[in-house]
Amino acid sequence: MHKVILKMNRPFSFLWSIIKPYRYPYFIMMIAPLSHGIYTVMYNYAVKLLIDLFTHNQYITLKQSWQPIALFVGAHVILDGSCRAHDFAQLRCMPYILQNILHKVCKHCFSLPYVFFQNNFSGSIVGKIKGIGDKYVKIHQALKCKLSKPLLITLFSGIALSLTNIKIFLFILTFTIVYSPLAFSFFSKLAKMEQAKQDSWYHLFGTVADRVTNIFTIFSFATKQRELQNIKDYYEKVHNPLQLRYYRYDIIISIILCLFYWVFLISLFCYVIHVRNSGEISIGDIAFVMSLTFAFTESSWDTSMEIKDFLEDVATFRSAFSIMQIPKDTIDKAHAIELKILKGEIIYQNLSFHYPGNGTIIKNLNLHIKAGEKIGIVGCSGAGKSTLIALLLKNFKATEGDILIDGQSIYDVSSDSLRNQISLIPQDVMLFHRSVGENIGYAKDNPTQAEVEYAAKVANIHEIIEALPEKYNTLVGERGVKLSGGQRQRIAIARAMLKNAPILILDEATSALDSQTEQDIQQSINSMLEMSPSTVIAIAHRLSTIRNLDRIVVMDKGEVVEDGSFSGLMALEKGRFKELWEQQVNGMLV
């Protein structure tokens, strides 16, 4: 199994896994270019036969010329027939190959670790996903036509030349033996430069996409010129030097190879004249030899140029494919089971966690949340509150300890089955650029309109939606930018209500809102909590929002320092929660 995964991480092993189910039509499609090489030889040999006939006869009959006519017709039948076979084979495989490439790439990317998406530009990721498909098409076109056509013409022309005049063929072969390794060496180095250039381009594309995503922040801070300058600086200091290096080297090797090619052509013409003067070939032969020689040399040159482009396409494909070589999220076990929640009890057991390269965030934490219990978690920034939730969602794996839900370790169950039974209302709600109804209904497969509207009513947003231009069909804009922060939060509440999961998490769901909106949203949350038997974990910055919960857990530096009811914690003479409450009530804590 491990060896299979390693092979799938190799670009061409990956492509073969996609092509293999369609290998027979793909093979037909790829051998179709053979007709170009056969056509060139047959066509030019027909011309040779006609010239020989007219050399020996002033007048020829159709009976005498049946061979060249048959060759002419046969050449076109082979060419046209193979082209139609190619078109049919292409119809049977190419649309599905491209579909499967996109599916497999997206499937891999959606399985990458949480931290990968934290550390990389989304624009760069999307650029590479798109690049794999785009560059595969270019490689396919090169193999099918751009590279194969001149290569096959060179091959068949060379065979025909060797059968017609071995001396001329050996003369050309000598040139090819000297020229090919030299050209390949140049082109390999150029391909490495192209890959470096492409890596830089994906990074640049990612930074541009990041700025487009945050365009409203740029507008609000009037930093358009600064951001444009940053893009310009990267282009001039990083990307442009790579491009200039590439183009300079390309010019130098093109001049060297052109000079080499010109010397060869002059030498070849002189040698053919010498062979004809020696009487070794007929006039028809010389026409055939010269046409084949021209086809051979031109195709050889075209082949070398296409090899250059092909190697560059392979390099850019490898650059894009690098995303497929990033290991998938390995938190789940190979045979993880489905999580089954009957009650909703959560136990954090001797839990410790630290991010790579950073200090400990959670230290030997123990916390028992009873089924159906509603608890609040508070503490200063950096206390470990959000990390505690991220560990519960399996965004990261604990360094030590375990998390149990109804007695089942979350590390024995699949991440999807775990997350499917947890509703999350985050502080920063991100919506899809879809309709309001689709964003609410996202929590459930094929929800009815009645279910969506019921959830919206619980979240106190139904009337607001009804006032929109297209009601539930109104598009919210990318990330929901056409809606206010309060409206996005209400949609998140409606979505959580529709999901109706046995565990509900509120991650500072109202901290970014103004006081009036916060109060309105809190009423929506309270309505949902009253109707829900779920186990609830609420991370709160504003402590007034959790005073009516069953328990309040106070965290500091990754540890639980206090745990009790609101009244019980307020009764502690020098309690940490009481200190936080008094600071907030007195306006000292913002």
pLDDT score for 222: 65
The phi and psi torsions of 113 (rounded to 5 degrees) equal -60, 150
Q: Give yes or no for a contact between 375 and 389, defined as CB atoms under 8 angstroms apart.
A: no
Q: Strand, helix or coil at 431?
A: coil
Q: Which residue has the tokens 């541009």?
A: 208
Cα 66 from chain centroid (whole Å):
58
Q: In whole angstroms, give the CA distance from residue 204 to residue 218.
A: 18
pLDDT reported for residue 2: 40
Please give the pLDDT value at position 4.
38
Handedness of CA 33, 34, 39, 40 (dihedral sign): positive
What local confidence, expressed as pLDDT, does residue 320 receive?
79
Cα 362 from chain centroid?
Answer: 33
pLDDT for the residue 1: 37
- What is the pLDDT at residue 523? 67
Burial 2-12 (b: 16+ CB within 10 A, else e): eeeeeeebebe
Angle between helices 34-56 and 283-321 (to 10 degrees): 170
pLDDT of residue 529: 67
Domains defined along the chain, listed by start:
2-325 (1.20.1560.10), 424-500 (3.40.50.300)
Low-confidence ranges of the chain (pLDDT < 70): 1-9, 33-34, 36-37, 57-58, 61-62, 118, 144-153, 213-222, 276, 279-286, 290, 294-304, 329, 356-360, 509-532, 585-590
Query: Tens digits of per-residue pLDDT, 160-172?
Result: 777 777 777 787 7
Residue 125 has a pLDDT of: 77
- SS3 of residue 430 by DSSP: coil
Q: Where are the alpha helices (DSSP H) in 369-412?
A: 385-392
Asked whether 512 and 542 are in contact (CB, 8 A), the reply is no
Integer Cα distance of 568 and 582 in angstroms: 15
- Residue 510 CA: distances (Å) to CA of 106, 380, 458: 33, 16, 17
pLDDT at 519: 66
pTM of the full predicted structure? 0.64
